[in-house]
Amino acid sequence: MLGISPKNRVDDKLYKEKLSSTIVLQTPKAAKVLAYWLMGLSLVFFIVLFLPWQQNIRADGEVTALRPQDRPQTVESAIAGRIIQWRVMEGQFVRKGDTILQLAEVKEKFFDPNLLLRLKEQMEAKENGITAYKAKISALSNQILALESGLELSLSKARNKLQQNQFKLISDSTDWEAEKINLKIAEDQLVRAEEMYKKGLIPLTTLESRRLKVQETNAKVISLLNKVLTARNEILNARIELNSLQAEYADKIAKAQSDLSSARSFLAEGEGELAKLTLEYSNMKIRNEQYYLISPQDAYVVRALKAGIGETIKEGEAVATIMPDNPYTAVALYVKPMDVPLLSIGRKVRLQFEGWPALQFSGWPSVSVGTFGGRIEVIDAVDSKAGKYRILVSPDPEDDPWPVQLRQGSGVLGWAMLDDVPIWFEIWRQLNGFPPSLKDQPDDLIYGSKDKKSKDSKTDEEVD
């Protein structure tokens, strides 16, 4: 009817000029494409909203070491001195016990190079003096024992003599009393004889014999009285001798004990001086060893804090910084206080080190590229700096090993991984400013009394 066919088409010029209304009524191709794209993106976005998203806590920090002995340290001088020789260069590797630098003495009292020999001689002289005092103490002790033994013997002898005199006094007193009775009898017989003589009953010779017997008996009584008095004097002398012996030996023993106490005092003084000399000798011997500053462990010399020859350093002043060899590397991350209750020992962490290119999807750690795994080993019980809490993260043995080129102090960005939630929930949480949620309460916020030793031993085994 219109005469339009594939071989007989409407002229394009006529179509554009005469049929422009049809063009207006048509939907533009660009709009169709945009609509398709928007519909597709909306569908994709809707699907994505229900994909799982792993919640995480973001924190930054630095590379460090898990064990304190693996962290950078300074080598300090225990004594004041003057540098006379450097034995190492910066960046050089040193073994434990290698000399870093040599010092010379700066204090006058230690200038004598033979000071140790002098102190040794003084110690030997003092030891000889102590030996002599010990011998004197032994001799005085033996002397006191001998005096005490002699005192016992002398006192025993004097007591025996006193006892003998007492027995003699008793015997003489008995004889004297008996003779006094005989004298009384003789006098009575004489009186009766005189009466009988007057009566003529006895002759004069009998009377004279009675008188003679009275005189003889009286003489015996006087003689025995003299013996009694002599015995009493001997007893008194024996007692005086006994007291004299006690006083004499007490004086000798007291003098010996005084000498013994003096010797012991000098011995104690000598032992005190010897102990002082021994301490001084030991200190000087140790001080001589301090002239050589040695490396406390296998390490690299990072920086010399003192330079040149002849420079003087003070006691306890640092002279060099060293970095231990083969440290057990860890990461120190600093988290906000509100995030600390969500963390626990052993929780997984993803790490991005400065200098290593990475593409991190914090909610999808499985598709991240260039990040490394770790696990929380320590959570500080107090804040560390700027109101944040430090956590120490060690390498995850189930993940790729950390780069060997890591240096302590390098920056690190970390994500502590929590539980999985839908993306729409995470968006809603972020918009409302809610904290992440946990299905279960963390068991340990810091090392517990039961787990700390096991974790420490496990760390040492991993280091070995």
Integer-rounded Cα radius of gyration of the chain: 60
The domain defined by 73-105+297-323 carries CATH number 3.30.70.2860 = no
Describe the crossing of helices 423-432 and 29-49 by its angle, rounded to 10 degrees.
90
- Kindly report the pTM of this predicted structure: 0.59
Antiparallel, parallel or unpaired: β 99-104 and 81-86: antiparallel
CA dihedral of 159, 163, 168, 173, whole degrees rounded to 10: 120
Q: Which fold has domain 52-70+327-459?
A: Elongation Factor Tu (Ef-tu); domain 3 (2.40.30)
Q: What percent of the chain has pLDDT over 90?
A: 27
The per-residue pLDDT of the chain, averaged, comes to 81
Digit-coded pLDDT (tens) for 52-70: 766 778 899 999 999 999 9
The amino acid at residue 68 is P
Note the pLDDT of residue 25.
55
Domain ranges, ordered by start, for the chain: 52-70+327-459, 73-105+297-323, 115-289
If pLDDT is split at 50, 70 and 90, which confidence band does 26 have? low
Antiparallel, parallel or unpaired: β 372-379 and 81-86: unpaired
The yes-or-no verdict on residue 143 having pLDDT over 70 is yes
| Mean pLDDT value of segment 2-23 | 54
User: What is the DSSP track for 392-441?
Assistant: EEEE-TTSPPPPTT--TT-EEEEEEEEEEEEHHHHHHHHHHTPPP--SS-
If pLDDT is split at 50, 70 and 90, which confidence band does 462 have? very low
Note the pLDDT of residue 113.
83
| Mean pLDDT value of segment 99-112 | 88
Just give the CATH number of 115-289. Answer: 1.10.287.2610
Digit-coded pLDDT (tens) for 336-384: 888 888 888 998 899 999 988 877 766 666 667 788 999 999 999 888 7
The yes-or-no verdict on residue 274 having pLDDT over 70 is yes
Q: Long-range contacts for 433-441 (Cβ within 8 Å, ≥24 apart)? A: 435/338, 435/339, 435/342, 436/55, 436/56, 436/57, 436/339, 436/342, 437/55, 438/342
- What the block records as the tokens of 230 is 């002599």
Q: What percent of the chain has pLDDT over 70?
A: 82
